[in-house]
Chain A
Amino acid sequence: MAEVVVFYIFAALILGFAVLVITAKSTVHSVLYLVADFLCVAALYVVLEAQFLAVIQVMVYAGGIVVLYLFVVMLVNLKRPPELHIDPRRLGRLGTVMALAVFGELVAIGTYGWLKPSGFDGTLDPKNIEQVGRALYTDYLVPFEVASVLLLVAMIGAIVLAKRET
């Protein structure tokens, strides 16, 4: 019972902050709403018994990636905001049809779930981080090493791209 209430509160916060991210006028406010969104998602991960992912979400996403966004927003702080005119090539009718299709899909998911409710069959080990560590280093070792090389390449690439030509 308490879990459902907590889920609805955090779901409302997540969707609310997400809408604020895409509709805020000032870019810095958008970034702040994104941080709040990520913190609510981390809280939802704790409800889902994924404590390691929750802490990684706060540390890497909210504490690292969004700080990077904030730095870039402050470095490109323009005086005139970019959205000044309506794009004449916007396809309003096609957009409405697609939105209705998506809405129909969501209703279909909800109805299917209501007709055949699937509970939670499996149980997760409470020693969550041991399990994740074991899986990362035995079954998924190759993707782990590839991910580390990817991060190294991305780091070097970002430094080269953002360097000033002296």
Chain B
Amino acid sequence: MMTQTHFLVLSAALFMIGIIGVMTRRNIIIVLMSMELMLNAVNINLIAFSRQLGDVTGQVFAVFVICVAAAEAAVGLGIILAFYRNKETINIDEMNLMRW
């Protein structure tokens, strides 16, 4: 029997996996991909609630989340490319140009 809790637990677990990815990996591209996992978890949550309440607002919000994720991925990867050209590294431990 299908309840809302199934989707909530799935979304929470996916969000946690995303957070673990962001906190433990050193490769900045994997960090950005874990952020995409987190945004997907939020989307699953929104759409599960949209179905429960019969309101299409949740899906509209999910469309906006996807738009913002696309913009963020483009700009983030542009920054990574610009950084890589200057310092030849994608390890976030070595990205400390602003630290004295």
**A residues whose Cβ falls under 8 Å from a Cβ of B:** 3-4, 7, 11, 14-15, 18-19, 21-22, 27, 30-31, 34, 37-38, 41, 44-45, 48-50, 52-53, 56-57, 60-61, 64-65, 68-69, 72-73, 75-76, 78, 81-83, 87, 95, 102, 105-106, 109-110, 112-114, 117-125, 128, 131-132, 135-136, 139-140, 143, 147, 150-151, 153-155, 157-162, 164
- Whether B40 contacts A132 by the Cβ 8 Å rule is no
Chain A contact surface mostly: helix
Q: Which of under 10, 10 to 19, 20 to 34, or 35 or more describes the interface residues of B?
A: 35 or more
- Whether B18 contacts A76 by the Cβ 8 Å rule is no
- Whether A124 contacts B68 by the Cβ 8 Å rule is no
Cα–Cα, bound, A123→B73 (Å): 34
Known: A50-B59, A123-B54. A69 touches B5 (CB 8 A): no
A-B pairs with beta carbons under 8 Å apart, 12 shown: A7-B6, A11-B10, A27-B29, A53-B43, A82-B27, A113-B8, A119-B3, A122-B55, A132-B60, A161-B75, A161-B82, A162-B77
Cα–Cα, bound, A4→B73 (Å): 34
Cα–Cα, bound, A14→B12 (Å): 12
Contact with A along B28-44 (1 / 0, CB 8 A): 01101110110010011
Minimum CB–CB distance for A87 against chain B, Å:
7
